[in-house]
């Protein structure tokens, strides 16, 4: 029993540095695994849309036609589900918070315009693909023809 049981601690804290920070002039150093905000490495992204499907708040939109990946940072709850589910591992949780904003804006990431080399590579791949399809179609037609002939012979 008695008074001033907290006296020692209170007196000690008179000579200590304040526990608080003068935010926004000072900020705390962020830990490595802090759930700050999501960033997408759009070069690696295949726009498969799994992140949008798994997101519990539906804050991600994937537009395949426009080749864009959109996140609404005000709806994102930093649960890291998209990062965990991404098959390409192109999503990263950055360990720093976004700055306060005065208006609600979504963050859109679009695939960059391909360079001449990339365009040539894509055209070559497209040609190869067309050739493969053509060869497969021809092979299929030949197989069917042979089958038909065999059936006719049997009759």
Partner 1 sequence: MGKAQVLPFGPQHPVLPEPLHLDLVVEDETVVDVLPQIGFIHRGLEKLVETRDIHQYIYVAERICGICAFGHSYGYAETVERLMDVEIPPRAQYLRSIMHELSRIHSHLLWMGLAADAFGFESLFMHCWRLRERILDIFEAVAGGRVILSYTLIGGVTKDIDAPMLQAIKDKLNSIKKEYQEICNAFLKDTSVKNRLVGVGYISPEDAVQYGMVGPFARASNLNNDVRCLGLGAYGDLADFQPILSTDGDCYGRVQVRAEEVLQSISIIEELIDKIPDGDFYVPVKGAPAAGSEACSILEQPRGEVYYYCSGNGTKNLERMRIRTPTTQNIAGMTMALKGCDLADVNMIVLTIDPCISCTER
**Which residues of the chain form contacts with partner 1 (CB under 8 A)?**
1-6, 8-10, 13, 19, 31, 33-35, 54, 56-57, 77-81, 84, 93, 95
Give me the least distance between CB of 129 and partner 1, in Å please.
33
Give me the least distance between CB of 57 and partner 1, in Å please.
8
Q: Supply 72's token pair.
A: 């609404």
Closer CB to partner 1, residue 42 or residue 93? 93
Residue pair 67/108 in contact (Cβ under 8 Å)? The answer is no
Please tell me the distance from the alpha carbon of residue 119 to that of residue 98, in angstroms, as a whole number.
36
SS3 19: coil
Closer CB to partner 1, residue 46 or residue 57? 57
Closer CB to partner 1, residue 77 or residue 120? 77
Give me the least distance between CB of 35 and partner 1, in Å please.
4
Q: What are 94's strand-pairing partners?
A: 37
Residue pair 74/104 in contact (Cβ under 8 Å)? The answer is yes
């Amino acid at each position: 029993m008695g008074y001033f049981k907290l006296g020692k601690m209170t007196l000690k804290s008179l000579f200590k540095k304040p526990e608080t920070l003068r935010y926004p002039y000072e900020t705390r150093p962020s830990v490595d695994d802090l759930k700050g905000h999501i960033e997408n490495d759009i070069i690696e992204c295949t726009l498969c849309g799994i992140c949008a499907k798994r997101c519990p708040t539906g804050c991600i939109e994937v537009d395949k036609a426009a080749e864009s990946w959109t996140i609404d940072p005000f709806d994102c709850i930093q649960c890291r589900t998209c990062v965990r589910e991404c098959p390409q591992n192109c999503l990263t949780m950055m360990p720093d918070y976004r700055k306060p904003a005065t208006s609600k804006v979504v963050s859109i990431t679009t695939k960059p315009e391909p360079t001449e080399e990339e365009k040539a590579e894509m055209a070559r791949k497209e040609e190869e693909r067309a050739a493969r399809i053509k060869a497969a179609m021809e092979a299929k037609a030949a197989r069917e023809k042979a089958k038909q002939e065999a059936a006719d012979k049997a009759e």
